[in-house]
Structure 1
Amino acid sequence: MRKIILLLFILQISIVSLVAQVQVTSLLVENRQEPLGIDDPRPRLSWQLLADKRNVMQAAYEIRVSPDVKALKQGKNLSWNSGIVQSGQSVLVPYQGSELAPVTPYYWQVRVRDNKGKLSKWSEPSFFVTGLQQAANWQAQWIQVGFKEEKSRPSPMFRKEFNSDKKLVRALALITARGVYEAEINGQKVGDLCLAPGWTSYNKRLQYQTYDVTELINEGSNAVGVTLGNGWYRGNIGFEGQVDVYGDELALLFQLELTYDDGSTAVVLSDGSWKSSTGPIVYSEIYHGEIYDARLEQEGWSEAGFNDSAWRGVELKNYSKDILVTTENEPIRKQEVFHPVEILKTPEGDQVIDFGQNLVGWVQMKVAGTAGDKITITHTEVLDKDGNFYTESLRSAKQQNTFILKGKGIEEFEPHFTWKGFRYIKVEGYPGELETENFTATALYSDMEPTGSFECSDELVNQLQHNIRWGQRGNFLDVPTDCPQRDERLGWTGDAQAFARTASFNFRVHSFFDKWLKDVVADQYENGGVPFVVPDVLNNRQVSPGWADVATIAPWTIYLAYGDKELLEAQYGSMKAWVDYIQHVSRKNLWRPKHSFGDWLFYRPFDDNSGMSAVTDKNLIAQAFYAHSTQLLIQAAEVLGKQDDLNVYQDLLAKIKHAFTQEYMTPKGKLVSGTQTAYVLALHFDLLPEELRDQAAKRLVDNIRLYNTHLTTGFLGTPYLCHVLSRFGYTDVAYELLMQKTYPSWLYPVTMGATTIWERWDGIKPDGTFQTPGMNSFNHYAYGAIGDWLYRVVAGIDTEADQPGYKAIRIEPQLGEPLTHAKAELKTYYGSVVSGWKKEADKVKLQISVPVNTTAIVSIPASGAAGITEGGKRLSELKGITLEGQENGRVLVQIGSGDYLFEWAN
């Protein structure tokens, strides 16, 4: 008996040693957790590993998938069993099982074996739900209101009653609209999305959403109701007063699929049996706001038993379903809630509430009054120097919501199909005193996961990082907009490409850009040109260097950040078409575009006659981006194995660079434009012969000193400025630029009280007056591109290009005065990467975390390896840390997963 007990004990110890040292967690399907509406026949699966040991890698994985969660756990009824796959891949592993059925849940789990032979337990099951997959599976019909609309276009409402008399297992609602919509079932809102179905190139790609509404369905009588708004579809969009860009009629498509426990199914469809009417939303526009008349509310309209005898029928429409695509990105949702920090009365007598943060979203209000009382809320970003409410920079956008009371106790108001960019609101018509508890502001933006943080010893720089993140929040509202407050709010391509890498640090923007880049392809002109804005509501058929180059820059940037080869493949045709377009319109390999924004909003002194305006030749800029886009196309071709293209475009790039040096550079390396932007682009894009680059970097620094260590760059030069300085040994100058507090600089707006990034370096001038109101946004993320340098150079977190997505990590912090510490964290698909350094009196500490299933090269700014310790021990005493050598006064070591603390003499 003792022998049996001993054998069992040994067996238990053996099992423990083989299992549970590595855990599988954070399961994702197509970059999202438990998504609904997956239409890809081969969705990609990702997971993370956790381990308490260093240097742990995945050696093999096993995945199983089943439509039945109980069967899955037993390994039965599997749609896919991968078997044991000898691979370290844990990100974007494609499903390879049997064909997935439409509108069906699938459950999956994974286990792995690590490089030490340890086998994990099966992960907890996760799931995804497929979408309709193809147009033929849509049984619903497009419906419109059955009456003539009023000129003010009040929001139409649709309703339908239905029965569900069996025990329900699952109910999935699939909804989209020409316009924006909110749906209700039995008086409760469907989902938590705002401004669905989002904004795409509607005539080519219209998204639908999938909702699990099982909990909303009653056994017996039910009702569904849907309200539509103009939104981007037919509302005022663009700064030229455009309306009806995609059509002049709103429409609804609704399909509810019910599955019962006896295996039977039923559907509730938008069809000719629905009813239509209007209600309390009597006016709704994105720019101008919403008028809500509570006296027109129809209580119980989305519940069974409502008397809809006064409602009209609907009209069936034969709109295309072939353009319908499932939603692949994170939708817009309500986010942070802000309470008033101050209620003030302006010198002009206005009642104003300050929420303390420039944000994008809307205000909720509680109020009690009499029927017909009208309360108007106007939104703005800033007060003028006298403290008065300032709206001139909004141009024609009213940014105003009006609430008309029904006079029944405490009433609550919240908008539906509009949003505002604001910090301050002016309240007119409110009965009684304004009280802080009656007003809140809620931020709206795409529900991206926050992935990055940066902090350092300087509070102004920390506020700058805060402003960068809030600029991204406010402008990543389904598309990367240029500004969220005035009559614009368009997907400007130049801003997006300049900020894409910074964006990928702050939030997980993989799916966000994947979706938007598909619209770049959809709206790309037949000749390969790329519009200024996407979706292209301007339709002016023009292109501009640095803007249209989003077609190459953004796909490559997202590939680097997330390692998504399929995205790169999907965008490759667009990348190639753009480079081919430039080649076609160029002469003798020189691109002189008909239109160019140039280095947008570069430095112009208040006295333009001083000769200090930093004007960069627009053709030089065009040629530089021609070379850059060609280089990125070459890199994409190399990754994708397109050897024929590789040879063609390598030859083209050599000609482009030769033409650049012949046209824009003297034999000694002086550029025809002596601006910071000219030298930054020439150096960052490797346009100059190698032997002339150092002198060009010296000319760049001389120019910076000429302006008393101030930058003069605009939208195209700014993202690369500090990177170029660090690359060529001038990190000290880059730090000086970062810490500069007077105009023009990154910290000047911070000293002026900014809580987001400004469109202009001097949106508010030192005397408190404003820049030209025709173009002066105080929430405009482009200049926030310095965030990329904070993460990649100050903190030193980067990915190796040959193993993108942080599978292979490079940690190379560059310390600089006056900072005494800096730290960044980045949540990757593998886990969190941390790099934080701190200067002490006699030593420097570098704290590092490397996720399981990755490796890192650490470049330590120390004079030699002998003086470096990790965890209190010399490097030579440690296993698992490999000394790779020294370069440029730095020591290189290779490490695996785990937490590390390096120290060396200061």
Structure 2
Amino acid sequence: MLSITRITVENTESGCVTDEAHPRISFSAVSDVKGAEIADAVITVGSWSIHTRDQIAIRYQGEPLQPYTTYTVEISVTDTAGETAHRNARFETGRMSSPWSGKWITDGTYKFTEKKVSPQPLAFRRIIETAPGKEIASARIYATAMGIYDLALDGKLLDERYFAPGFTSYKTNLQYQTYDITNVISGKHVLTALVAGGWAVGSFVFTRVNRVSAKRQALLAEIRITYTDGSQDVIGTADDWQVSQDGPVRMADIYDGETYDARRANYWRQDSTGDYHWHNAALEKLAINPQITAEYGAPVRAHEVFTPVECAQRDDGSIIYDMGQNFAGVVRLKINNAYEGQTITIKHAEILNRDGSLNTDFLRTAKATITYTCTEGEQEYTPRFTYMGFRYISVEGINGDSVDVEGIALYSDMNHIGEFECSNSDLNQLQSNITWGAKSNLVDIPTDCPQRDERMGWTGDIAVFGPTACFNFDMSRFLEKWLKDVQAEQTRGGGIPNTVPVQGYGFPATMPKMAIDWWGDACVLVPWALYQSQGDESILRRMYPTMKKYVKACQFWAKLFSAGYKRYIWNTPSVLHFGDWVAPDVPQMSQWQARSPWTATASLNNTSRTLARIAGILGETIDEQYYNNLADNVADAYCREFTDGHGKLTNEFQTAYVLPLYLNMFPEEARSQAVANLASLVEKGQYTIGTGFPGTPYILFALADNGRADVAYKMLLNRLCPGWLYEVAMGATTIWERWDGLDANGECPIGDDGTDTMISYNHYASGAVGAFLYQRVAGIEATSPAYKTFRVHPLIGGDVTSAHARVDTAYGLIESAWQLNGNDVTVTVTVPMGTTCTVEIPVVSDCDTHESNVHVVTSGTHTFTVHNALVITDKKE
């Protein structure tokens, strides 16, 4: 039987509201007939129709879409077995650049001048009354803010999303949200909005700057009620709305937390008068003029709920709760007995001190504190305008018998498309740590950490983690949104800021030509990872000018004051780079940066080669040749400058071997010696990690793909520090920023090394090893975009006797499972409809040479058993 399993519009399965003039339509199908393929698909929207065999990002090309309209996508598919299937989906257009009837409003009496703090949250309200006797056909609210906001009707939230309108480069891009109130509005109601400072107005970055995008909060909204007789009521924000500074949220700050007074929770009521000092709002003139567009990112929502695994009463009266998992989110209090005015204080931390108290030292200036003032009796509370990174909380001001505590994970609403598990429980925990490190840092933008006074969009972290993120999650909407800001923040000379959105963080945004290797590379590497995962060429086309401009800036710095082959050595002062960031084999930050000639030159090779591939895909043949030549010249210069010409570095460290090996920069005659030298370094280091950000994602590939999978497995499975499984052995539930975050006694040994005791226990960058688990241990690797063709080629070894992975691709579900029994291995592969898989099972032949048992298969589930499987042991393959 043939069936259509999924239809997406603008990468959204349901509830899509878009301002895109030519929205993208994708679908996947499944058949129980092995080898069946799509023979024809007919996609219809209104009067527009197209016949196609493509399934990914088919652009609507019909008559111009009208604003405020619901459309139906109809898809009919016929396969090569003669079966047919039909399915419909709906999407809605938003404002489509229609003029707003509303105006920006604020509290004209509020003069916010304090530094390094966030403003007092503002409450807005408006009475809405529908026309008597008329039937409502549809009712929508379109809203956005300078700050972050919640909308409620008669005190009930209209949506559970957090932090609307989202974090963007506000001076250029601003999202609005659409709320369907058709079924909840009739008669007279009170619409309220609470607006906190958020990223636009509140304190942000570790220097705690505020008022970056606006001098105070502002709200823009429009209510459109359409009746069945065709008439409409349109109500926009104006100076007839009311505003108050006396709502229940008394303080809200991304870093410091939230203060909430439940005694003021009825602020929204029509009869709430003098106590809340309601007065008319004032029109606001913004200093910026962003393009306001229907939400195109993935909203932040509540996901997993944690109940404490342990609690401990302390002598000071506080209660310490252990949630059992480090994560980003908020607490939920369910209070069953409280008196009016009772104050509860909650503090958050990732680890405990030796005496069992919260370790808050590494939060730096972030207070990470919730203060809740109770009404009498039963009540429930969850913060709405902040979030924390934590595993442990302390609760003060209430008896443990009177309150139930839960933790709620907050992250962007992305489909979880990947899973990995194997016979080794430590690797399974590592996969969990990688996943939770990602969830904790995919909070509207790709952050670096969720706990301290940072949580910024560091480009280097997502540049190296992008492929792993795309194995585990459908990153389409999340990354496309962020990349739009990368484009907006690119400097005149082509540089990419270290953090996007910049939002108050200057360097190097104030230096137009400044390019930072591996960090700025995100403008090339992230779109490439997204394209490889999802197969939508439009992200490459959109980012192509940005990529070219960036690589040109990198070339500028490499050529500066250089001649001959040294024009391809990027050797500017180390303070202008991050180099081998947090490499554990050197202790000082300055030493990480001192490795920048190696990391930056390899970066230029990587971005150039990747850009050449992209140029080829886009049909830019002249550019393709140019960037390939550039990459070749950089590779040659690297070998001439840094090696003896025979694969030995004159200054040996792991990253300096890893990058050219992984990127194929060594000539063939030097490659075997280079990998031998890398393996020797690893062996001398007892198979521990010596790489920083640039090398860590690739070191296992550099070894395994060059004949030393034995060393790769020993490094992966090593429980010594520094190493992934050392963190697991120490009880980590996420990935750490630094490998030495805790010593064997559970103490943090980091001293004054120039980083201001920088340590986060929830930093996902080193979790980039997750790609190796999928691509080499389980063996799933795309050989064309979106896995239209892919291979399953597992590396069987270490102490792993079985592995299973799944990836829900644009074409459907891929699964790979293998089981080792002695020297016999059984491999089972599930291949989606419309794709082709090459199954390669390494075997040992009669003469002890290594070969592969190869099978090319199409859709369906296939099982293969081979004898004399190649099992990687402690010896070289």
1:106 equivalent to 2:89? Answer: no
Q: Which residue of 2 aligns with 1:793?
A: 776
Shift of residue 644, structure 1, vs aligned partner: 2.4
Q: Which residue of 2 aligns with 1:291?
A: 259
Counterpart of 1:590 (choices 569, 573, 583) is: 569
Distance 1:701 1:310, change over 3 A: closer
* Structure 2 counterpart of 1:501, one-letter code: P
Q: Distance in 2 between matches of 1:533 and 1:122?
A: 45
> Deviation string for 1:784-842 (max 9, x for gaps)?
11100000110011111xx3011112111111120010110001111110001001246
> Deviation string for 1:553-577 (max 9, x for gaps)?
1111111111110001001111101
- List aligned pairs for 1:283-682, cutoff 5 A: 283-301=251-269, 307=273, 310-319=277-286, 322-346=290-314, 350-367=318-335, 368-406=337-375, 408-430=376-398, 432-434=399-401, 438-537=404-503, 538-541=505-508, 543-587=515-559, 588-594=567-573, 595-604=576-585, 617-682=595-660
> Deviation string for 1:383-423 (max 9, x for gaps)?
123423211011110100101123x2123222111001111
8 Å contact 2:494–2:515 — kept in the other structure? no
8 Å contact 1:719–1:786 — kept in the other structure? yes
Q: Distance in 2 between matches of 1:614 and 1:416?
A: 39
1:115 equivalent to 2:80? Answer: yes
Q: Distance in 2 between matches of 1:689 and 1:453?
A: 37
Q: Distance in 2 between matches of 1:298 and 1:37?
A: 32
Q: Distance in 2 between matches of 1:386 and 1:456?
A: 37
Counterpart of 1:181 (choices 149, 172, 191) is: 149
Q: Report how many residues are paired.
A: 835
Q: Distance in 2 between matches of 1:190 and 1:349?
A: 38
8 Å contact 2:125–2:268 — kept in the other structure? no
Q: Which residue of 1 aligns with 2:871?
A: none
Q: Distance in 1 between matches of 2:594 and 2:667?
A: 21
Shift of residue 666, structure 1, vs aligned partner: 1.3
Shift of residue 88, structure 1, vs aligned partner: 2.4
Identical counterparts, % of pairs: 36
Counterpart of 2:800 (choices 819, 822, 825) is: 819
Q: Which residue of 2 aligns with 1:833?
A: 814
Q: Distance in 2 between matches of 1:132 and 1:703?
A: 60
8 Å contact 2:583–2:592 — kept in the other structure? yes
Q: Distance in 2 between matches of 1:145 and 1:499?
A: 42
Q: Distance in 2 between matches of 1:321 and 1:34?
A: 31
8 Å contact 1:614–1:675 — kept in the other structure? no
Q: Which residue of 2 aligns with 1:872?
A: none
* Structure 1 counterpart of 2:84, one-letter code: S
8 Å contact 1:743–1:762 — kept in the other structure? yes
* Structure 2 counterpart of 1:462, one-letter code: N
Q: Which residue of 2 aligns with 1:71?
A: none
8 Å contact 2:172–2:289 — kept in the other structure? no
Q: Distance in 1 between matches of 2:742 and 2:484?
A: 37
Between 1:668-677 and 1:230-239, the stretch displaced more is 668-677
Three-state SS of the structure 2 residue aligned to 1:389 is: coil
Shift of residue 317, structure 1, vs aligned partner: 2.2
Between 1:545-554 and 1:262-271, the stretch displaced more is 262-271
Distance 1:350 1:272, change over 3 A: closer
Shift of residue 300, structure 1, vs aligned partner: 4.1
8 Å contact 2:467–2:529 — kept in the other structure? yes
1:62 equivalent to 2:42? Answer: yes
Q: TM-score scaled by structure 1?
A: 0.89
Q: Which residue of 2 aligns with 1:227?
A: 194
Q: Distance in 2 between matches of 1:477 and 1:784?
A: 17
Three-state SS of the structure 2 residue aligned to 1:438 is: strand
Q: Distance in 2 between matches of 1:585 and 1:470?
A: 37
Q: TM-score scaled by structure 2?
A: 0.92
Q: Which residue of 2 aligns with 1:743?
A: 721
1:776 equivalent to 2:748? Answer: no
Q: Distance in 1 between matches of 2:369 and 2:25?
A: 44
Q: Distance in 1 between matches of 2:182 and 2:643?
A: 68
Q: Distance in 2 between matches of 1:605 and 1:156?
A: 49
Q: Distance in 1 between matches of 2:154 and 2:266?
A: 14
- List aligned pairs for 1:802-813, cutoff 5 A: 803-813=784-794
Between 1:886-895 and 1:682-691, the stretch displaced more is 886-895
* Structure 2 counterpart of 1:685, one-letter code: L
8 Å contact 1:421–1:485 — kept in the other structure? yes
Three-state SS of the structure 1 residue aligned to 2:568 is: coil
> Deviation string for 1:223-264 (max 9, x for gaps)?
211110111111111111212222221100111222221222
Three-state SS of the structure 2 residue aligned to 1:856 is: strand
Q: Distance in 1 between matches of 2:603 and 2:49?
A: 47
Q: Which residue of 2 aligns with 1:15?
A: none
* Structure 1 counterpart of 2:821, one-letter code: E
1:852 equivalent to 2:833? Answer: yes
Cα RMSD after superposing both structures? 2.1
Q: Which residue of 2 aligns with 1:217?
A: 185
Q: Which residue of 2 aligns with 1:141?
A: 103
Shift of residue 660, structure 1, vs aligned partner: 1.7
Q: Which residue of 2 aligns with 1:239?
A: 206
Q: Distance in 2 between matches of 1:268 and 1:32?
A: 29
Q: Which residue of 2 aligns with 1:905?
A: 867
Q: Distance in 1 between matches of 2:663 and 2:8?
A: 36
Distance 1:825 1:503, change over 3 A: same
Shift of residue 888, structure 1, vs aligned partner: 5.3
* Structure 1 counterpart of 2:773, one-letter code: L
> Deviation string for 1:294-349 (max 9, x for gaps)?
23333443xx6665894111111243665212221210001111111111135776
Shift of residue 863, structure 1, vs aligned partner: 4.5
1:202 equivalent to 2:170? Answer: yes
1:48 equivalent to 2:28? Answer: yes
> Deviation string for 1:489-508 (max 9, x for gaps)?
00111111110000011111
Shift of residue 614, structure 1, vs aligned partner: 8.8
Shift of residue 189, structure 1, vs aligned partner: 1.0
8 Å contact 1:36–1:131 — kept in the other structure? no
Q: Distance in 2 between matches of 1:242 and 1:845?
A: 58
Distance 1:491 1:113, change over 3 A: same
Shift of residue 531, structure 1, vs aligned partner: 1.0
Between 1:778-787 and 1:709-718, the stretch displaced more is 709-718
* Structure 2 counterpart of 1:898, one-letter code: G
1:251 equivalent to 2:231? Answer: no
Shift of residue 843, structure 1, vs aligned partner: 2.3
Counterpart of 1:35 (choices 12, 15, 18) is: 15
Q: Distance in 1 between matches of 2:330 and 2:687?
A: 40
Distance 1:478 1:120, change over 3 A: same
Q: Distance in 1 between matches of 2:284 and 2:83?
A: 57
Q: Distance in 2 between matches of 1:434 and 1:358?
A: 25
